[in-house]
Every structure is written in structure tokens, then in C-alpha cells.
Structure 1
Amino acid sequence: MKMSTEPELIFLPGASGSTDFWQPVLQKLSFKHKHVIAYPSFGGHPEQENIKSFSTLQQYVLRQIPQNAVVIAQSMGGIFAVQAALQMPEKIQALVLVATSGGIDLSRFDVKDWREEYKNTFQVPDWFVEHAEYLDEKLHEIKCPILLIWGDSDPISPVAVAVYLQQKLAHAELVVIEQGQHDLAYEYADQVSAHIEHFLQQNLKAEL
């Protein structure tokens, strides 16, 4: 089976903004076109004067996403991935959401508050950490295939969050990594990349 047009794999970091986080997975995937989007002012990347709020950062990220994209997002990056699928579905072939809230209301779940620890550990703007956005009632509008990858030992985004997302999303499948915590994509890169590879080979538009 031959891909009609090879996709561009776009990787989005979490709140740390570390582009290195995705490197172990990125290097194991067979697809040729792969790119990690850096967030200005995050993870040591230079500031941009026009990016001073979550909404302006979101606009910046969405502008970087090309046609024929697969967006692979960690943690808070999942909000941008979901917004890309909602705002420009014609560009998005598939989503892979890893240990993310996807912009849902987490008040119903028993989750660890990550914000204070992140502010003390990473160079992260306050406006990013304090942002709250609830897209629960829009998730059903996303029609592309979605892979949810979670760890069963993640206190920040427990499996219950993934199950809820799977119920809200029209075409989502869930895989759970045993002993995986919030950094499972980095620590279990072999498993995560294998799941992504299989999912994309099965779901991307192809021709005989």
C-alpha cells in the first residue's frame, strides 16, 4: 500500500516548551517529514514581541501547521492540536494526543496540580500556566482519526481523562503504557513510536 501524499508530522511540546522532549520518538518514526514547533519564550527559545498571551501563542502555532499534517502533542500542547483540528480540519489528517487534557474541564477528575511545580522548574510565562480553556462540547466536531496515548501511573493526566476524551471524540482509540507517567513519550519512546507508526499506517489516506 502506498501513501497518496506523505504527511508532515508536527510535534508540539508540553508546557516546558522543550523541543528535545520529542526527539527519541521522532527519530524512531519512519516518516520523512518531521518537525517540532518551538514556542517563543519557552524552553530557552527567544521571545517574540507579539506573543504575550495564550491566544497569540496559539495563533502562532496554528500558522506553523502545514497542509497534510499529523499533529502529535504532549500535555498542554494538546490544546493547540485540538484547536488545529477544529479551526482548520482541511489541513489535519490525524491527531496523536499524549497525556493531555485536550482543553477539557479537569475539575471532575482527581488530578495533581502541575502548575506551581512547572513555574518553579521551567522557564514558562505566567499567562501560559494560568490559562484555562474548555472545549468539551466541541470535541465531537473533530472527524479525523485520533490516537490517545496515556500512562497508567500519571498523576497529572490519569487514564480516566483519556477515557473521557475517547467518549467525546468521534474517532479515537486509546492505548495505555504500563508504568507510564507524564513523561511517558520520552521514557518509553520505543513503545510510543511503535503505537504511532502502527496507527498512522492504518489510518492515513492511502492508495493501492
Structure 2
Amino acid sequence: MQLIFLPGASGSTAFWQPVQQRLAKRTFGNFTSQKVIAYPSFGMQPSHADVYDFASLTQYALEQIEQECIVIAQSMGGIFAVQAALQKPHLVKGLVLLATSGGVNLAPFQAQDWRSAYQQQYLNYPDWFCTASIDYSPQLQTILQPVLLLWGDQDPVSPIAVGTYLQSAFAKAELHILEGGDHLFAEKYPDQTATFIAHYLAQWEC
């Protein structure tokens, strides 16, 4: 099986390197490789003729999933991860979602609006990443794969309440909170993050 990593809205594949390095040092006999999916036109990646809106980017990301895997996703990458679990349940055996919306409406959770700051920081990125409106809430209960949810308790973009909701929405999910963690806690606390993920992955080593 493969570990597939999905970045957040920055598209930075380097975000996952600290966690990847720590997981690579552990022994997982059933996991033979790691792969980070880069987004065309994001994170200094070249554009792609078939990627021109959020739906086509979702399709592009899903096309990169070609073998049995666990999908590990940060923030907006969680939207692609959820869609992968829905469309490719025969390949996606589990999900690890960090500080994400999971494709649900965040308005009821008093989440901080990240879009204006994002557009100012990433001036050359496609604007449709900020305007997409996605709600997979009715479909979440049909995802039967085990889901690991990791949240920081100091994250205004995706508050703990979002993680709690997702825990109740998925058929099989566990939620862990990293004390002092903000929206980018996986990058700041890679040891703790990798430990939680390693414990989750251990169920496939039986």
C-alpha cells in the first residue's frame, strides 16, 4: 500500500516533508512507498491544460490515486481526500485528515475567513480556489473507511468544533487534539503528528 499526501491551499509539497521523514524511519511492512500530490499552478508547479477550476483539480488529484493507499490530507486537501474515499473506496483504505473542512460548510462553526489573506499572500494563484463552494455533508456517513482526525486547539481557520462534527459524521472516526497547535501544526509539531499517524497505520500491520 502507498501513503499519499495532499497539501493544503498553499500547494506546498514541502509542508509534508518533516512528517514523511519521521514516518519513513518507522517500520511499516504493508506500506511500500510515499507520494505527495502536487497541484498544477500551485506551489510553483506548472499549469496543466486539464486543470482550470476546482472540479477539474479534484479530478486531477483523484487520477493520481492508482493503487491501494491511505490518504493523508492537510486543510483544503481534505476535500480531495473525502472525494477520493467516495469515488475510489476500492483503493482508498483510510483517511487521515488534519485541520480540514472535509468538504462541509464552515459557516456554523465560526471559522476565521482565510480567503482574503490567502489571496494577498498568493497573488499568482488561481482565484477559483477561494470561490469554490463544496458541501459533502450528506455523503460523509457513507464513508466506511477508518478516519483519523487531527486538530490543533489554537486553530481559528478550522476550530476543534469542525473536527468534532466530522468525528460524528463519519461512520468510523477518532479525533485527537494537539495542544498549542494552530492551522499548520503538522509542520511545527512533526514528531507528535507522525506518532498519531503511525499508531493509526498500525492497524494495517496485523
Would you say same fold, with TM above 0.5? yes
Aligned to 1:95, the other structure's residue is in SS state: strand
Distance 2:107 2:177 in 1: 22
TM-fit CA distance, 1:132: 1.2
- In structure 1, C-alpha distance between the alignment counterparts of 2:173 and 2:150, rounded to whole Å: 10
Superposed displacement of residue 50, structure 1: 1.9
Question: Which deviates more, 114-123 or 80-89?
Answer: 114-123
2:188 partner letter = E
1:118–1:124: 8 Å Cα contact kept in structure 2?
no
Alignment match, 1:128: 129
Q: Over the residues paired in the alignment, what is the CA RMSD in angstroms?
A: 1.0
SS in 2 for 1:116: helix
CA distance in 2, matches of 1:67, 1:21: 23
Letter in 2 for 1:8: Q
Unmatched tracts of structure 1, length 5 or more: 1-6
Cα deviation per residue 1:125-172 (whole Å; 9 max; x = unaligned)? 101111110001100000011000000000000000000000000000
Taking the aligned partners of 1:22 and 1:65, their CA distance within structure 2 comes to 18
How far has the Cα of 1:97 moved from its partner?
A: 0.1
1:27 pairs with 2:27: no
State the 1:124 CA deviation: 2.4
Q: Does 1:13 align with 2:7?
A: yes
Task: Give the AA of the match of 1:60.
Answer: Y
Corresponding position of 1:4: none
C-alpha distance in 1, partners of 2:175/2:18?
21
Distance (Å, rounded) in 2 between the aligned partners of 1:64 and 1:45: 15
- Work out the number of aligned pairs and report it: 199
Q: List runs of 5+ in structure 2 lacking aligned partners.
A: none
Give deviations 1:18-47, integer Å, cap 9, x for gaps: 000000001100344111100000011000
Letter in 2 for 1:156: V
- TM-score normalised by structure 1 residue count: 0.93
Q: Does the residue aligned with 2:90 lie in a helix, a strand or coil?
A: helix
Matched, 1:156 2:157: yes
Cα deviation, 1:70-102, whole Å, max 9, x if unaligned, reads 000000000000000001100011100000000
Identity of aligned residues (%): 52
Specify the alignment match of 1:58 in structure 2.
58
Q: Once superposed, which parts of structure 1, at least 4 consecutive aligned residues long, lie more than 2 Å away?
A: none
CA drift at 1:66 = 2.2
TM-score (norm 2): 0.94
SS in 2 for 1:175: strand
- The whole-number CA distance in structure 2 between the counterparts of 1:172 and 1:23 is 25
Q: Distance in 1 between matches of 2:100 and 2:66?
A: 22
Q: Which residue of 2 aligns with 1:111?
A: 111
Equivalent residues in 2 for 1:66-145, closer than 5 Å = 66-122=66-122, 123-145=124-146
Equivalent position SS for 2:4 = strand
> Partner residue of 2:191?
190
Contact 1:28 1:190 (C-alpha < 8 Å) held by counterparts: yes
